[in-house]
Structure 1
Amino acid sequence: MPLILSHVDLRVRDRAKAIEFYDALLNVLGATREDGKTFTTWQIPPPDAPADWEATEWFGITEDPAMTPGPVRVAFDAPSRGTVDAIATYLPAIGARNIEWDEGIYGGRYYAVFFDDPDGNKLEVCYIGA
């Protein structure tokens, strides 16, 4: 199914620190990073991507020292429950805060961990089983 979004661009207070956090989080999901002059993006290339592949869907950050976190939550898709578990085990070490587990609020197929990045942006890693 095609995605409804083209990209997500979050604001962070310190881009260098945020890159460390998001590299640790998104590399496990197979994402590759691309640094621009004022922003950084991560994307997941398809397995058969040609060398000149360009992302049409991506997640990015832009530095804004005056940013304040909003109520929107961004969810990253995990390929398995095990991936959700693996990420959850190291979230405290990379600076995630307010870590909570999905306790069945979305139904049996949904498995997720919810947390905030170091700037307070609300995030989630989820797996939706068959």
Structure 2
Amino acid sequence: MNPFSHIDLRVNNLEKNLPFYEGFLTALGFIQTFHSDKWKVFAANGNLPSVAYFAITEDPLHKPNGNLVGFWVENRDEVDRLATLIKEIGGKITSGPQQFPISPTYYAVYFEDPCGNQYEIVHRLN
């Protein structure tokens, strides 16, 4: 069982950040949208509420902090592909993609969205 349900994320400027998330989340497989005036919701394939989703809203006072959201992908090529996409859509690579000494198979890229929220995409076998 995967207990993950969703992420509610704040950005300080939705108009500036939304194009990044439209490209990034779609590439990760969040292909359904359920948008309202205040929330932009990207969901995985399937039926809510049983599929994971990522919801974004604007808070002009939001300031990024030390929190980090990590995503797992199936292979190193996918880490590299997404790292290239992140740069193309306005994200900032902060480290990688590369092998990290966390485990013998830990290959990752760390990055920030245009607002400064921190993320990681990782492939590892153990």
2:6 is matched with: 7
1:63 is matched with: 58
For structure 2, the residue ranges without an aligned partner over 5 or more in a row are none
How far apart are residue 98 of structure 1 and its match?
4.2
How far apart are residue 92 of structure 1 and its match?
2.0
Contact 2:93 2:109 in 1 (8 A): no
**Higher mean C-alpha deviation, range 102-111 or range 9-18:** 102-111
2:16 is matched with: 17
Paired residues for 1:69-108 under 5 Å: 69-101=64-96, 102-108=98-104
Q: Name the aligned partner's letter for residue 102 of structure 2.
A: Y
User: SS where residue 35 of structure 1 aligns?
Assistant: coil
Q: Name the aligned partner's letter for residue 79 of structure 1.
A: E
1:54 is matched with: 48
- Residue-pair matches, total: 123
How far apart are residue 55 of structure 1 and its match?
3.7
CA distance in 1 between counterparts of 2:61 and 2:99 reads 34
CA RMSD after TM alignment: 1.8
Identical-residue share of aligned pairs (%): 32
CA distance in 1 between counterparts of 2:75 and 2:15 reads 29
Which contiguous aligned blocks of 4+ residues in structure 1 show a shift greater than 4 angstroms?
A: none
Mapped pair 1:123 → 2:122: no
For structure 1, the residue ranges without an aligned partner over 5 or more in a row are none
How far apart are residue 103 of structure 1 and its match?
3.7
How far apart are residue 6 of structure 1 and its match?
2.2
